[in-house]
Every structure is written in structure tokens, then in C-alpha cells.
């Protein structure tokens, strides 16, 4: 059974650009959540999608957005990149609420 796949694994972008990250959940998992990990703030919740609907959003500016497609694959987008957006972005898939979370390997974004 394939795990959670995140692409790309590494990304370097320039300030002001935008970026799109992709997450393919485990087959049959309808919940996808996104997290940002930085050395200073640790792991922080970005948003969670279930069956194409955003159910919850963390405390991040509107430059951070996401969506989920009918096949449960999810994308997150960050517009007008800032240096502080440099982080490891992780997604996790679950079958539903209160079930085990399976994480992808993450996308390491560097903004220069």
C-alpha cells in the first residue's frame, strides 16, 4: 500500500514568488491536513480538508491557501513568498476524525 506522497521534496523560490505543493494521500483516505515545521515554532497546523471541503484553518495569513480534489489529492499554495515561509511543509492523511495520521516526507521550501 503506497504511503503519503508529497511533491516536490525540495524547492527554492525567490521572495515575492508563489509556490504550489502537492500531497497524494493513502488510497481511501479522505482527510488531508497540512502543517508547517520551523525550528522556532515547531509544527503548526495550516488547514484540514475532508471530501473537498476545508473543515478547519490555522492561524496563518491569507497568502496560504489550499484545496482538495475529488480524488482526495490536495494542494497548498503560498503566494507572495516571504523569507519566513522557509520551512518543512508536511501533509498527513487519515481515513477520518480520530484515526491514525500518516505523514508524507515533506517538502522543504527555501525562500531566498
Partner 1 sequence: KNEVEQSPQNLTAQEGEFITINCSYSVGISALHWLQQHPGGGIVSLFMLSSGKKKHGRLIATINIQEKHSSLHITASHPRDSAVYICAVPLSSGGGADGLTFGKGTHLIIQP
- The site for partner 1 (CB under 8 A) is made up of 31, 33, 35, 37, 42-45, 47-48, 50, 55-56, 58, 88, 90, 92, 94, 96-106, 108
User: Smallest distance, Å, CB 49 to partner 1?
Assistant: 9
Facing residues of 5 across strands? 24
The residue among 3 and 16 lying less far from partner 1, judged by its C-beta, is 3
DSSP lists the bridge partners of residue 50 as 31, 53
| Strand, helix or coil for residue 24 | strand
Minimum Å gap between C-beta 10 and partner 1 is 10
Q: Give whichever of 56 and 110 is closer to partner 1, judged by the CB atom.
A: 56
Residue whose CB is less far from partner 1, 8 or 16: 8
Tell me how far, at minimum, the Cβ of 39 lies from partner 1, in Å: 11
Q: Answer for the pair 52, 61: CB distance below 8 angstroms, yes or no.
A: no
- Residue among 35 and 64 whose Cβ is closer to partner 1: 35
Task: Evaluate whether 55 touches 67 at the Cβ level (below 8 Å).
Answer: no
Query: Closest Cα partner for 23 from 12, 38, 33?
Result: 33
Least separation in angstroms between CB 16 and partner 1: 26
Do residues 45 and 54 lie in contact, with contact meaning Cβ atoms separated by under 8 Å?
Answer: no
In angstroms, the CA 104 to CA 13 distance is: 21
Amino acid at each position: 500500500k503506497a504511503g503519503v506522497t508529497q511533491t516536490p521534496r525540495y524547492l527554492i523560490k525567490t521572495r515575492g514568488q508563489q509556490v504550489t505543493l502537492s500531497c497524494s494521500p493513502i488510497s481511501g483516505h479522505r482527510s488531508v491536513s497540512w502543517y508547517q515545521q520551523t525550528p522556532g515554532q515547531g509544527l503548526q497546523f495550516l488547514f484540514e480538508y475532508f471530501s473537498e471541503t476545508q473543515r478547519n484553518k490555522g492561524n496563518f495569513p491569507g497568502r496560504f491557501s489550499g484545496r482538495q480534489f475529488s480524488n482526495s489529492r490536495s494542494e497548498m499554495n503560498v503566494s507572495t513568498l516571504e523569507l519566513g515561509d522557509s520551512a518543512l511543509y508536511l501533509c498527513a492523511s487519515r481515513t477520518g476524525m480520530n484515526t491514525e495520521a500518516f505523514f508524507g516526507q515533506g517538502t522543504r521550501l527555501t525562500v531566498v
